[in-house]
Structure 1
Amino acid sequence: MRLAKLVDTVTRTRASDKRSDKVRILADMLLLARAREIELVAFYLSGSLPQGRIGVGWSLIQQAMAGNESSMEPLSLQDVDDAISRLAAERGAGSTERRAAVLARLFSRASTDERRFLSQLLIGEIRQGALEGLLLEAIARAARLPPSDVRQASMFVPSIGVLARAALEEGAMGIGRFSLKLFTPVAPMLANSAGDVGEALNRLEEAAWEYKLDGARIQVHKGGDEVRIFTRQLQDVTQRLPELVEWAKHVPVREMVLDGEALGLRPDGRPQPFQITMRRLGRQKDVTTLRKEIPLTPYMFDALYLDGTSLIGQPYRDRIEVLSEVASSARVTQIQTSDPDQARTFLQAALTAGHEGVMAKSLSASYNAGQRGFHWLKLKEATTLDLVILAAEWGNGRREGRLSNLHLGARDSESGQFVMLGKTFKGLTDEMLRWQTQKLLSLETHRDPSTVFVRPELVVEIAFSDIQDSPRYPAGLALRFARVKRYRTDKTANQADTIQTVTELFKSQRA
């Protein structure tokens, strides 16, 4: 299949405002692909690469395009995949020049539109609105499968490409192979924000209320004497957390998958700051020494698998009952109530104990891996949002030479784009300024004299007073008195808060 066909599909998808039309266009494209091409189409439409991140930036692309002569030989999807594999494999001395040469050969065979698409694909800037959820619907349509079955399989599949090929080539039997398995991490279920207890109860009625811990999200897998621990990003950190491995081995079950948090505690039992806890997950050396300095305690809040049985589809009240039976001593503090006064008292107790706030969780909801919905809601003392940095402006005065004023964006769950909500330079320490300047320059896509624009990858937690109308920004909303609380290096842009969440918060504050 030629690349030109895929680029045309992206153009038509971008031009459509209707979700149903987008799904139809994407499904038709998938039906034209065969074998490996199906995987490539799914990857490229979702804006990702089978090879993962390969470290190509805008400067390398510009270098490759300089003086490039055009060839009439058209590009196929396989040609693109082969070139990207060569790019990913280049390492060591002289690799920059070799990578530029590979890119130059690739671009020499590409039309202007194809070059633009390839550049965006390589630096992670595809914005045709083909979010994974939209693409899952297209896969279901093309394969004539129930969308719910495809979504469930997507929780456990290694990649969107593998899922698409299995669905189109093997149908229900193909996607039926994907299920929760021991030692294969599952994307964590995520939460939306709620403005207050009343809003949470309006959505959930009776709920499980839990302390919201400011620790490291972990997923603990146990099979016999083997234990493996994964992070929010599905990274295996087993060797870094020996005390949690020891704890899991003593849980009296043969097989389990539990979801929870690891938290560093001060001598008085109050929680350590988030950055202190995360030092344990970031260090691979001197684990024994660091364990003595920052011992971690497990706090579990969900059970996903027990002795050969997946609990994913069961309601939360049943899953926490299982958790109570197998690991009651490590359960996060929880109550179940529909009484707003009880919930507010519980929230105050969480804050007094030094925690961020509380989680409110639907007792009837199943575990929706990798998805952010309104079955789980987070309430904090100060309203915060996890937003994505879209650009940064050079500072003045003592901040001269540093990237300072941050452009903040929320994810649009419908279009796949990031919607700007304002700027801030408040809350930044000198150390944060140094770090973010280096980090943002590594993500640069282009710049003008005052601003560096970056790939939307870096997530930052922003505290603010309220949300106001603003004709200045695309969504008509802006954050008032926004300030940086911390960077969320444990989160990806896909896990950032959405513009839909911001809109709901805005409505609730005006009610």
Structure 2
Amino acid sequence: MHDFAELLDRLIYTRSRNAKLKLIADYLRAAPDPDRGWAMAALTGDIDLKGVKPSVIRAMIEERVDPLLFRMSRDFVGDTAETVGLLWPEPDQARAAALSGEALSVANVIDRLAHLSRGEAAAVLADMLDRLAAEERFALLKLATGGLRVGVSARLAKTALAQGFGLDVDAVEEVWHGLKPPYVELFAWGEGRGSQPTPADVPVFRPFMLAHPLEDTDINLADYAAEWKWDGIRVQIVRVAGETRLYSRAGDDISAAFPDVASAFEVTGVVDGELLVRGEGQGGALGDGAGAASFNALQQRLNRKSVTKKMLRDSPAFVRCYDLLFDGEEDLRALDWEARRARLEAFVARLDPDRFDLSALIEAEDFEQLAEIREGAREGAIEGVMLKRRDSAYVAGRRVGLWYKWKRDPLTADCVMMYAQRGNGRRSSFYSDYTFGCWNEAGELLPVGKAYSGFTDEELKWLDRFVRNHTVGRFGPVREVEKTLVLEVAFDSVHDSKRHKSGLAMRFPRIARIRRDKPAAEADRIETLRRMIS
């Protein structure tokens, strides 16, 4: 555990991407199997230990130290694992002697935690914490709760593995979802002790081709095809050897949440598309195929391990198809977009029309005309426009000059900060997560959203000082502040919400500007936001 704990500690305090890549690669080359495989699973979010919940950890530490001391320390530190790791009492000499022996490894920890019942979790976890030093306790608790939060994305971890062993990162991504932790075959391939794993006869996820934001319209529109950027979630649907799986953009298998879609895909192949829910909204105003409901309707079905018959009936899902990666067993990704589009049109014609349709192309002679058409995106509840170079192959990741996204301009509203909470990772010492609200007709300030991005480091320091100097109440880790600071909030859309007292919720809110010049009484009203609902 010592080496893994040291890796996490150094990653937290390292901001350079290249330095993080080197730290992970060095660890993976030096660590033995299966420790390094489990470390990769932790870094990529592929560990799910159901027996350990944060409430269990809080109860354990409050049995051993003053609960008030723990809560105050947690509030100051901003991270439960770090707080518990530091506060956990060292065992007495007799206990330490009884625990002496073989050191815990990452694999030992995972194996023990994976087979716990919830009733056993506290005793087993306490036994392990007694065996470890403070920095190792931190790593153990991060593993146990599954939330490392050390500034490393799954893609960065895979890139580090690829660089560490001289592999192509796209080849690693290609086989990743066909393998299971601790990825022994992957490391054998990297060290030349085994052949490259293949996704044969397994419906594995392939990395998506991504787009750059369009910042300059000084390109030849004739070289690009334009289509709408639909407001759902990007998915990949794969059928191989009679088995179908539906993957999210992150590569998570979401087939169980959308059995209506997965069961209807009966043609062997791999399709890239947008998962939507039927309803009035997207596309209807533009006359582009059957209408889709807002993202808020789709959200009711996300993150569920199973769905009810009522959900299937009331919110039927479908996929609007963008691209074709495999037609049968034939890999089309090396073909240009125009060739793939022709194959896609023929492929979609073979699918169930209730569950699959084709994303229509937009005809425009120049950027001026396309900009006018794009203005209708908000009316149609669509995110914007995609531009795809006609001669582009389907390549993983973002490649300059191939695909662009031209999103509709964001909405903005002046809101009042109401609450603040500390962030995670390098922001754990700053109040960086802000809940804000707007006024109702009765003069009450009601929350409409929460944001933790959009500001510079200097603005973060200023906001943190404001929170500390204007706190009027505390609720665990949350601080209530004086209702005097106006924040201009940018957001993509606003929807009805039963979870918020205001009845509204913003999608993708971020802080656009700190309005120190504007009195809180002049912030926007709930009714103003309600008129923005699309």
- What TM-score does the superposition give when structure 1 sets the normalisation length? 0.65
1:123 and 2:119 aligned:
no
- Contact in 1 for aligned 2:277/2:297 (Cα 8 Å): no
Higher Rg: 2
User: Taking structure 1 as reference, are residues 406 and 231 closer, same or farther at Cα in structure 2, changes over 3 Å only?
Assistant: farther
Q: Secondary structure at the match of 2:231?
A: coil
The alpha-carbon distance between structure 1 residues 186 and 204, as it changes in their structure 2 partners (threshold 3 A), is farther
Preserved CA contact (<8 Å) 1:40 1:161: no
Match of 1:113 among 128, 135, 142: 135
Q: How does 1:212-251 map to 2 (within 5 A)?
A: 212-223=229-240, 227-232=244-249, 234-237=252-255, 240-242=258-260, 245-246=263-264, 248-249=265-266
Matching of residue 423 in structure 1 with residue 450 in structure 2: no
1:168 aligns with 2:187: yes
- The match for 1:256 among 260, 263, 269 is 269
Q: Is the counterpart of residue 101 in structure 1 residue 123 in structure 2?
A: yes
Residues 384 and 462 in structure 1, CA contact (< 8 A), matched pair in contact too: no
Counterpart of 2:419 in structure 1 is 405
Which structure is higher in helix share?
1
Partner of 1:177: 197
Show the counterpart of 1:471. 458
Match of 1:82 in 2: 108
1:311 aligns with 2:324: no
Asked if the contact 1:136/1:150 (under 8 Å) is kept, the reply is yes
Displacement, 1:285? Answer: 5.2
Query: Could you say which residue in structure 1 is the equivalent of 2:172?
Result: 153
Report the CA distance between 1:217 and its aligned residue: 3.8
For 1:447, the equivalent position in structure 2 comes to none
Cα displacement (A) at 1:100? 1.0
Deviation at 1:35, TM superposition (A): 2.6
Say which SS state the counterpart of residue 346 (structure 2) adopts.
helix
Equivalent pairs, count: 424
**Runs of 5+ consecutive residues of structure 2 not aligned to the other structure:** 65-88, 285-289, 441-446, 465-485, 498-506, 513-534
**Which residue pairs with 2:228 in the alignment?**
211
Stretch of structure 1 that moved more, 109-118 or 123-132? 123-132
DSSP 3-state at the match of 1:139: helix
**CA 1:275/1:407 → structure 2, altered by over 3 Å: closer, same or farther?**
same
Structure-2 change in CA distance of 1:142 and 1:461 (3 Å): same
| Paired residue secondary structure (2:160) | helix
**Aligned residues of 1:384 and 1:461 also touching (Cα < 8 A):** no
Name the residue aligned to 2:370: 343
Q: Deviations over 1:221-279 (max 9, x none)?
A: 34587655444563343685547744x44xxxx52111212331339654322232444
Q: Report what 1:61 is aligned to.
A: 57
Q: Tell me which amino acid in the other structure corresponds to 1:481.
A: V
What is the CA distance between 1:305 and its match in structure 2?
A: 1.0
Residue identity over aligned pairs, in percent, reads 20
Asked whether the 8 Å contact 2:434–2:450 carries over to 1, the reply is no
Q: Is the 8 A contact 1:74 1:109 kept in 2?
A: no
Alignment CA distance shift 1:137-1:59 (3 Å): same
Task: Tell me, yes or no, if the aligned pair for 1:69 and 1:108 is still in contact at 8 Å.
Answer: yes
Quick one: distance in 2 between partners of 1:128 and 1:279?
30
| CA displacement, residues 402-441 of structure 1 (integer Å, 9 cap, x when unaligned) | xx736698x99xx999998762423799xxxxxx99xxxx
Q: Which runs of 5+ in 1 are unaligned?
A: 386-392, 396-403, 430-435, 438-459, 489-495, 503-511
Question: By how many angstroms is 1:75 displaced?
Answer: 6.4
Preserved CA contact (<8 Å) 2:260 2:316: no
1:444 maps to what in 2?
Answer: none
Letter in 2 for 1:114: E
Paired with 2:233 and 2:137, the residues of 1 have a C-alpha distance of 40
Checking the alignment, whether the CA contact within 8 Å between 1:201 and 1:338 is kept in structure 2 is: no
TM-score of the aligned structures, taking structure 2 as reference length:
0.62
Output the aligned Cα RMSD. 5.0
In the TM superposition, residue 307 of structure 1 has moved relative to its aligned partner by 1.8
User: Partner amino acid for 2:268?
Assistant: E
Superposition deviation, residue 82 in structure 1: 3.4
Q: Specify whether residues 127 and 283 from structure 1 end up closer, same or farther in structure 2 by C-alpha distance, changes over 3 A only.
A: closer
Q: Which residue of 2 aligns with 1:324?
A: 345
Q: Cα distance, 1:17 vs. partner? A: 5.4
Offset of residue 152 of structure 1: 2.6
Go from structure 1 to structure 2 and tell me whether the alpha carbon gap of 1:164 and 1:487 turns closer, same or farther (over 3 Å shift).
Answer: farther
1:480 and 2:488 equivalent? yes
Provide the secondary structure at the position in 1 that maps to 2:375.
helix
